[in-house]
């Protein structure tokens, strides 16, 4: 076996040498600022690639997984029960809100950054975020800045839009995620032929997941700038999670920790439902809190991982992290995140892999990390048009950029909505609803096929509408559907 090990080690070294040579060739095609930025990016990529070559099999040893100790995941109620001090402004002035803004709206059939899709009364994800922070800054007379982590896919369009906020009471900064080369699955070498991003090089680069935030934030110089300005913590969340607003109870809990036992990382988790079985969960591993993602689970244990009884909570990706700790870990090169290998097929049919990391996976590198089990309302992601229908409806009321479940709904759970393939694109979806139905008393909605909704339709209980292939169903204006199954062909003609 020693021989095998030596052979494998030789192979690894050869691959690494070849990769470095290819990256150098790519760098030779760059000039000026591009070259500087790409060089930094490639340095990060080399580290990731080196670790990728070292890793064998799933990164967890299943028998070593334990439930987190009782006190390591605090119930939100316990934290919210503590009285807030009069000096809230002091705490807020130590905070920076960071939104992960690298994603495109492709899953909803939109071009450009996802953050620019209209979600509610013509407001985009970005508008709502700015309104929330501006509201805080005005109410407490503070200076909480907004930082957007863009990717090369979203940077240009986002920056154009930012001009519209110049007179808002929010300082907005941006920095860019790294740009890494996609790797040919067979040769394990870059697909790119030069540093450009057009023509045949358009889809050979990728932003390496949100775990890249630590390195790119640090490399951008913005991290140091904010520390110099007296900022101590960032609150990080996905820009499409409309529940991720600044929570003053959590912030107070963070800031009021005694110095010797300062918590450097809080992950907001929430109880799993059947819809969340794939979400990452917190475990105790080698005496540290650790994020376990489905990709790291050995195949034989995937069903166990998905069980709602053994792993009761999942990561909302709302994270509170110490800026000083990020700086320390970056400078010590001690940020440890599992590598996610994401296989893709390019338009030409070529199989590639991209190496990514997740921001929450670094939890095990920080001191005194903590989970807080928050209400489900803090997790309201809009990933699909079905999610969009919920947040546009009267289930939610909008105030100062924040969406809250309407007081008129009798139970706090969100209805289960499944819109069929005729609704996947935002444009199509908009033409199918003359107005958004009343959904206050809805439990479950399934719509499939060619279906349109007139004005002021009301949906209650369980409603299933299925238009068979070639048929069309028009739900007339003012219809009330309660616990109904509608199928076949239904066209109400106006006389």
Is 454 annotated in some ligand binding site?
A: no
Between CA 395 and CA 384 the distance in angstroms is 17
C-beta of residue 451 within 8 angstroms of C-beta of residue 422? yes
Is 210 annotated in some ligand binding site?
A: yes
C-beta of residue 135 within 8 angstroms of C-beta of residue 142? no
Strands (E), 338-409: 340-345, 351-356, 370-373, 396-399, 402-405
Q: Which of 451, 434, 435 is nearest to 489 (CA)?
A: 451
C-beta of residue 208 within 8 angstroms of C-beta of residue 234? no
Give yes or no: 460 in active site.
Answer: no
Between CA 313 and CA 291 the distance in angstroms is 11
**H or E element that contains 428:** helix 426-432
Is 111 annotated in some ligand binding site?
A: no
Is 383 annotated in some ligand binding site?
A: yes
Question: Could you tell me the CA-to-CA distances from 359 to 48, 144, 205, 257, 264 in Å, in that order?
Answer: 14, 22, 20, 23, 14
Between CA 381 and CA 361 the distance in angstroms is 20
DSSP designation for 384: S
Between CA 53 and CA 325 the distance in angstroms is 28
Angle of helix 2-28 versus helix 32-54 axis, rounded to 10? 170
**Which one of the listed residues 327, 383, 425, 460 is annotated catalytic?**
383
C-beta of residue 363 within 8 angstroms of C-beta of residue 289? yes
84 Cβ contact list (under 8 Å, min separation 6): 248, 249, 252
Give the up-direction half-sphere exposure of residue 121: CA atoms within 13 A in the CB hemisphere.
11
- Phi, psi for 251 (deg, rounded to 5): -60, -45
Specify the long-range contacts of residues 287-291, CB closer than 8 Å, at least 24 apart: 288/364, 288/369, 289/68, 289/72, 289/363, 289/364, 289/369, 289/370, 289/371, 290/363, 290/364, 291/267, 291/315, 291/358, 291/360, 291/361, 291/363, 291/364
Is 240 annotated in some ligand binding site?
A: yes
3-state secondary structure of 264: coil
**H or E element that contains 367:** none
Question: Could you tell me the CA-to-CA distances from 64 to 60, 194, 285, 303, 304 in Å, in that order?
Answer: 8, 45, 6, 18, 15
DSSP designation for 248: H
DSSP designation for 80: H
Is 177 annotated in some ligand binding site?
A: yes
Q: DSSP for 109-167, please give it.
A: T--SBGGGSEEETTEEHHHHHHHHHHHHHHHHT----EEEEE-TTTHHHHHHHHGGGTT
Residue list for the binding site: 114, 177, 209-210, 240, 383
Residue list for the binding site for substrate: 210
Which positions are annotated as active-site residues?
383
Residue list for the binding site for UTP: 114, 177, 209, 240, 383
């Amino acid at each position: 076996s020693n021989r095998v090990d030596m052979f494998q080690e030789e192979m690894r070294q050869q691959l690494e040498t070849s990769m470095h040579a290819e990256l150098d060739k790519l760098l030779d095609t760059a000039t000026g600022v591009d070259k500087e930025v790409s060089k930094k990016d490639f340095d990060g990529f080399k580290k990731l690639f080196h670790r990728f070559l070292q890793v064998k099999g799933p990164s967890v040893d299943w028998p070593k997984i334990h439930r987190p100790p009782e006190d390591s995941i605090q119930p939100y109620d316990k934290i919210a029960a503590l009285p807030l001090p009069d000096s809230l402004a002091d705490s807020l002035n130590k905070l920076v809100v960071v939104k992960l803004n690298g994603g495109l709206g492709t899953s909803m059939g939109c071009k450009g950054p996802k953050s620019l899709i209209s979600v509610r009364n013509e407001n985009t994800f970005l508008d709502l975020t700015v309104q929330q922070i501006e509201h805080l800054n005005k109410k407490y007379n503070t200076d909480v800045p907004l930082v957007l982590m863009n990717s090369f896919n979203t940077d240009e369009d986002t920056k154009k839009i930012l001009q519209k906020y110049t007179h808002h009471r929010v300082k907005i900064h941006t920095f860019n995620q790294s740009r890494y080369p996609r790797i040919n699955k067979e040769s394990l070498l870059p697909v790119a032929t030069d540093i450009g991003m057009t023509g045949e090089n358009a889809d050979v680069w990728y932003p390496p997941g949100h775990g890249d935030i630590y390195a790119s934030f640090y490399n951008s110089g913005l991290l140091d700038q904010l520390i110099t300005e007296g900022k101590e913590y960032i609150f990080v969340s996905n820009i499409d999670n409309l529940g991720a607003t600044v929570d003053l109870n959590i912030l107070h809990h963070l800031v009021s920790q005694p110095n010797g036992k300062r918590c450097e990382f809080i992950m907001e988790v929430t109880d799993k439902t059947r819809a969340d079985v794939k979400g990452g969960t917190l475990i105790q591993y080698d005496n540290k809190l650790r994020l376990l993602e489905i990709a790291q689970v050995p195949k034989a244990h995937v069903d166990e991982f998905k069980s709602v009884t053994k792993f009761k909570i999942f990561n909302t990706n709302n994270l509170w992290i110490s800026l000083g700790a990020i700086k320390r870990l970056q400078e010590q090169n001690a940020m440890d995140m599992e590598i996610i290998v994401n296989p893709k097929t390019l338009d030409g049919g070529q199989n590639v892999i991209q190496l990514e990391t997740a921001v929450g996976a670094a939890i095990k590198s920080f001191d005194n990390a903590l989970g807080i089990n928050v209400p489900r309302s803090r997790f309201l992601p809009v990933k699909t048009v079905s999610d969009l229908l919920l947040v546009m409806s009267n289930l939610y009321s909008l105030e100062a950029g924040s969406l809250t479940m309407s007081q008129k709904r009798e139970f706090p759970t969100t209805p289960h909505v499944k819109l069929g393939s005729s609704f996947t694109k935002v444009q199509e979806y908009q033409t199918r609803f003359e107005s958004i139905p009343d959904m206050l008393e809805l439990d479950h909605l399934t719509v499939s096929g060619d279906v349109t909704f007139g004005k002021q339709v009301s949906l209650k209980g369980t409603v299933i509408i299925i238009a068979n292939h070639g048929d069309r169903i028009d739900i007339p204006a003012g219809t009330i559907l309660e616990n109904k199954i509608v199928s076949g062909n239904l066209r109400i003609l106006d006389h």
